[in-house]
Structure 1
Amino acid sequence: MERWPWSSGGAWLLVAARALLQLLRADLRLGRPLLAALALLAVLDWLCQRLLPPLAALAVLTAAGWIALSRLARPPRLPVATRAVLITGCDSGFGKETAKQLDTMGFTVLATVLDLDSPGALELRACCSPRLKLLQMDLTKPADISRVLEFTKTHTSSSGLWGLVNNAGYNAVVADVELSPVDTFRSCMEVNFFGALELTKGLLPLLRQSRGRIVTVGSPAGDMPYQCLGAYGTSKAAVVLLMDTFSCELLPWGIKVSVVQPGCFKTESVLNVGRWEMSKQLLLANLPRDLLQAYGKDYIEHLHRQFVHSLRQALPDLSPVVDAITDALLAAQPQRRYYPGRGVSLMYFIHYYLPEGLRRRFLQLFFISPCLPRALQPDQPGPTPGHSPGEAQ
C-alpha cells in the first residue's frame, strides 16, 4: 500500500535543519558516526513508511533523528579565556601536536621538552605564538621538576593553572619479562609513574585553586597483557591507578581527572625503527648466557620483527588523541576515560567480555604471533612442555 511521502520528507527536513545548525556551530563533525546514524535513519524511514500511519511515521523518524543528533553533538565546552596548561613530553608526538592546537585556541601553553634544541622544540618555537613557553625538563631529575614547578607558580600567578597534561612516556625494551633487565622496569617507572606523580603533586595547589583538570596519557598495554611490553605496561597501569585515586580524592576540590588510552599512532618514537633495532642489539649483547640458550636468538629476532611489523598499522593522523585531550580540558563534564584510535573500543570489549583464550588469540593476531623459545621446540633436548622436571611420567 502506498504511503504519503510528506511524512518522510518533513522528518528529513527537520533533521537536516538541525544537523546544518550544529555543523555551523561546530557542535557536530562530519565523519563515520554521522554517516552511520544517517544510514540507520534511512532504514528506519523505510520501515516507518511501510508499517506506520503518516503522522506516526513523522513523529518516530523525527524523534529518532533528534536523539541521534543529540548523542552525536559535542558536549558543552568551557571558554578558553586566559587558561594556562602545562604539557609534558612536547618534543614530538601527542605532546607537540596538543601544544600547537591549544596555542591556536588561545591557551597559555607551558610545554616541557627534553631538549630545547630538539626538532620538535624548534618547530614549536617557530609556529606558535609568544604565549607558548618552552621549558626543559627530564622527569627523572628532581631538580628539573622543581625548576618547572617554580616557573609555573611564578608565571601563572595572575591567570592560574587550569590544566596539567601528563603526556611524557618512555619505553626502553621490547622483550619478555624474564628477558628484560630489572633496570628497564625502573626506567619506565621513573618517567611514566614517579615523574608524573611528583609533578602532579607539586602542581596540585595551583590546580585546587583553579578547580582545574588533570589529563594523563595512558596505554592499552597498561590494561591488557601485551607480550613484550611488560615494563612499559606495568608503569602505565600504575599511573592510571594513581589517576583513578586522584579522581576520587580530588573530587571535593572540583578537580576533574581524565585518562586517555590511545591506540597505535605514528608518533616519532613509533617510527624510529633504528631505536628499536639498537634496543634489540643491546638486549642480545647483555643477556645472560643461560637465558639466551633457553630462548634463542631466533626467538628474540622473531619478536622484534613482529613488533616492528605491528607498528606499520599505526595511524598517521594524531588528531583523535589531540581532540580527546582538548575535550578533557574543556568539556563541562569530561569523560574519565577516552579511547581514541581505530579498533580500541573493540579491543576493550574483547578484553573485558570474552574468554581468556580468545583474548590471548586476539592480541597475538594483531600484535605478536606466537613463537616457541628454543628450549621448548620439539627438536631441542630438555623437559617436555607442560611437565616439570620432577613430575612423574
Structure 2
Amino acid sequence: MERWSWPSGGAWLLVAARALLQLRRADLRLGRPLLAALALLAALDWLCQRLLPVPVALAVLAATGWITLSRLARPPRLPVATRAVLITGCDTGFGKEAVKKLDAMGFMVLATVLDLDSPGALELRACCSSRLKLLQMNLMKPEDISRVLEFTKAHTTSTGLWGLVNNAGLNDIVADVELSPVATFRKCMEVNFFGVLELTKGLLPLLRRSKGRIVTMGSPAGDMPYPCLAAYGTSKAAIVLLTDLFGSELIPWGIKVSVIQPGCFKTESVMNVKLWEQRKQLLLANLPRELLQAYGEDYIEHLHRQFLNSLGKALPDLSPVTDAITDALLAAHPRRRYYPGRGVGLMYFIHYYLPESLRRRFLQTFFISPCLPRALQPGQPGLTLSQGATEGTQT
C-alpha cells in the first residue's frame, strides 16, 4: 500500500487544486453533487490501487477527476448588460421569485400579473428596481396579449428583447378524466397552450433580432399519466411539444429554446388548501347524478385528501427553479431540458426504463393512491344497464 501513496496523493492534489480554483471562480458549488463525485473518486482510487500498475492508476484517477470536475462546472455565462426579459405569471411562485432574481442581476424585467394590485405585484414593486415594468395580462384574453405585445415592442427598442419566460399556467381541478368537465380541458388549453402560443408567436420578430432565448415551464404531469391531473397534464404535454418544435425550427435564427420540468414546490397557488376545497365542492355540485352515483362522493374526497397529503412533500426552496431559468437565459449553451427538484431524475428514470405496471404503481404510491369507485366496491349492486347507457352518452 505504501508504494501507492505518492502517485495517488499526486492525483488527488491535482483534483483538489482544480476544485479549489473552480470554487474560487464560482464555477463550482460545494454541495451534494460535488461530495458524491469525490466519494466515487475515492472508490475508484481504492480499485486502482489493487488492480492497476502505478502509472496507469495515476493516469486513470487524474483523468477521471479532471473530467468529473469539468462536468460539474457551471457552463460559461453571457453578461447581463442591458438585456430585457418578459416573464409571465408573476403574481406568485416561480414567476415572482424569478423576477426578483433577474432584477437583482441587472436585467430589465417586464413582468405580467393577473392583478396589478395583487399582494405579489405590490411586493415586486416594493423590492425591485425602477427597471421593473409590471403589466396586467390574462392569457385567456387576446386583447391583453395584444396590449403586452405592443408595450414590449415599444419599450425594448433600445435594448431589444433577449428572453421570454412562459411561466404562467393554470390547474384548477383534481379529478379523473371522466369526472373532469370538458370545459376544464378547454380552459387549461386556452391558458397553458393557446395563450402561450399567441404570445410567443407575437414576440418572435423581437427574439429573432436579438438571437435570444425562449424558456417554457412544463411539468412532469405532461410526460407521465399523473392520477387526476389530466386536464393540466394534457395541456402541458401540448405546450412542451410545441416548444420542442420551436427549438428545432428556430435554430437557423440563433434562438435557443429550453423547457423546465420542475418537481413539486411550495408555491402559493399549489399550497392554497382553501382554494382546492372550493374547487372540490364546485366539482361535486356540478357532477352529473349518474357519475356521482357510480364513483361516489367518498371517492372524490379520497382523491382530494391524497392530493393535499402529497403536497406535504413539496419543497419550500424555489431557488432550483429560478436557477434553471437564469441558466436557460444566460448559459452560452443552455440545456434543452431542466429537471429541478428532489427525485425528479428518479421519476423520469422509472418512467422511461421500468415496466408500465411499476410506473403506474410508483405514481400512485407517491402521489395519489388508488381507491375503488363506489360501483366497484364489494357489496355494491354496480351499474345498471340504463345507467351505463346514460353515462356513455354523456362522455
Residues 374 and 380 of structure 1 are in contact (CA less than 8 Å); yes or no, is this contact kept in structure 2?
yes
Query: Which amino acid letter does the alignment assign opposite residue 158 of structure 1?
Result: S
Write the distance in 1 (CA, Å) between the matches of 2:13 and 2:45.
13
1:2-56 Cα distance to aligned partner (Å, 9 max, x none):
3242212221111111111111111111111101000011112222233334433
Alignment of 1:94-133 (within 5 A): 94-133=94-133
What's the counterpart of residue 48 of structure 1? 48
Query: Which amino acid letter does the alignment assign opposite residue 351 of structure 2?
Result: H
Q: Tell me if 1:266 matches 2:266.
A: yes
Q: Which moved more, 1:6-15 or 1:225-234?
A: 6-15
Write the distance in 1 (CA, Å) between the matches of 2:383 and 2:270.
38
Alignment of 1:109-258 (within 5 A): 109-258=109-258
Residues 3 and 50 of structure 1 are in contact (CA less than 8 Å); yes or no, is this contact kept in structure 2?
no
1:353-390 Cα distance to aligned partner (Å, 9 max, x none):
21111111011011111101001111100269xxx99x
Write the distance in 1 (CA, Å) between the matches of 2:309 and 2:273.
10
Write the distance in 2 (CA, Å) between the matches of 1:3 and 1:48.
13
TM-score normalized with structure 1 length:
0.96
TM-score normalized with structure 2 length:
0.95
**3-state DSSP of counterpart to 1:269:** coil
What's the counterpart of residue 29 of structure 1? 29
Alignment of 1:344-383 (within 5 A): 344-382=344-382
Write the distance in 1 (CA, Å) between the matches of 2:176 and 2:337.
28
1:92-149 Cα distance to aligned partner (Å, 9 max, x none):
1100111111111111110111111111111111111111111111111111111111
**3-state DSSP of counterpart to 1:215:** strand
Residues 211 and 254 of structure 2 are in contact (CA less than 8 Å); yes or no, is this contact kept in structure 1?
yes
Q: Tell me if 1:11 matches 2:17.
A: no
Instruction: State the 4+ residue runs in structure 1 displaced beyond 4 angstroms.
Output: none
Write the distance in 2 (CA, Å) between the matches of 1:2 and 1:83.
57
Write the distance in 1 (CA, Å) between the matches of 2:53 and 2:129.
59
Q: Which moved more, 1:278-287 or 1:348-357?
A: 348-357
Write the distance in 2 (CA, Å) between the matches of 1:383 and 1:357.
27
Residues 160 and 206 of structure 1 are in contact (CA less than 8 Å); yes or no, is this contact kept in structure 2?
yes
**3-state DSSP of counterpart to 2:214:** strand
Q: Which moved more, 1:9-18 or 1:204-213?
A: 9-18
Q: Which moved more, 1:49-58 or 1:82-91?
A: 49-58
**3-state DSSP of counterpart to 2:162:** strand
**3-state DSSP of counterpart to 1:357:** helix
**3-state DSSP of counterpart to 1:160:** coil
Write the distance in 1 (CA, Å) between the matches of 2:257 and 2:200.
11
The number of aligned residues is 386
Write the distance in 2 (CA, Å) between the matches of 1:248 and 1:15.
38
Q: What RMSD in Å do the two structures reach over aligned CA positions?
A: 1.4
Alignment of 1:71-86 (within 5 A): 71-86=71-86
1:219-256 Cα distance to aligned partner (Å, 9 max, x none):
01111111110110111011111111111111111111
Query: Which amino acid letter does the alignment assign opposite residue 113 of structure 1?
Result: V
Query: Which amino acid letter does the alignment assign opposite residue 168 of structure 1?
Result: A
Write the distance in 1 (CA, Å) between the matches of 2:275 and 2:132.
30
Write the distance in 2 (CA, Å) between the matches of 1:238 and 1:63.
43
What's the counterpart of residue 392 of structure 2? none
Write the distance in 1 (CA, Å) between the matches of 2:281 and 2:32.
43
Write the distance in 2 (CA, Å) between the matches of 1:346 and 1:108.
37
Write the distance in 2 (CA, Å) between the matches of 1:115 and 1:268.
15
What's the counterpart of residue 38 of structure 1? 38
Query: Which amino acid letter does the alignment assign opposite residue 327 of structure 2?
Result: D
Residues 91 and 121 of structure 2 are in contact (CA less than 8 Å); yes or no, is this contact kept in structure 1?
yes
Write the distance in 2 (CA, Å) between the matches of 1:348 and 1:255.
27
Residues 294 and 383 of structure 2 are in contact (CA less than 8 Å); yes or no, is this contact kept in structure 1?
no
What's the counterpart of residue 289 of structure 1? 289
Residues 243 and 259 of structure 1 are in contact (CA less than 8 Å); yes or no, is this contact kept in structure 2?
yes
Residues 170 and 191 of structure 2 are in contact (CA less than 8 Å); yes or no, is this contact kept in structure 1?
yes
| Gap runs ≥5 in structure 2 | 390-395
Q: Which moved more, 1:53-62 or 1:190-199?
A: 53-62
Query: Which amino acid letter does the alignment assign opposite residue 299 of structure 2?
Result: Y
Write the distance in 2 (CA, Å) between the matches of 1:138 and 1:32.
40
**3-state DSSP of counterpart to 2:74:** coil
1:47-104 Cα distance to aligned partner (Å, 9 max, x none):
2233334433322221111011001011111111111100000111100111111111
Q: Percent identity?
A: 84
1:269-323 Cα distance to aligned partner (Å, 9 max, x none):
1110111000001111111111100000000000000000001100111111111
Write the distance in 1 (CA, Å) between the matches of 2:4 and 2:12.
14
Residues 172 and 187 of structure 1 are in contact (CA less than 8 Å); yes or no, is this contact kept in structure 2?
no
Residues 88 and 165 of structure 2 are in contact (CA less than 8 Å); yes or no, is this contact kept in structure 1?
yes
| Gap runs ≥5 in structure 1 | none
What's the counterpart of residue 343 of structure 2? 343
**3-state DSSP of counterpart to 1:268:** coil
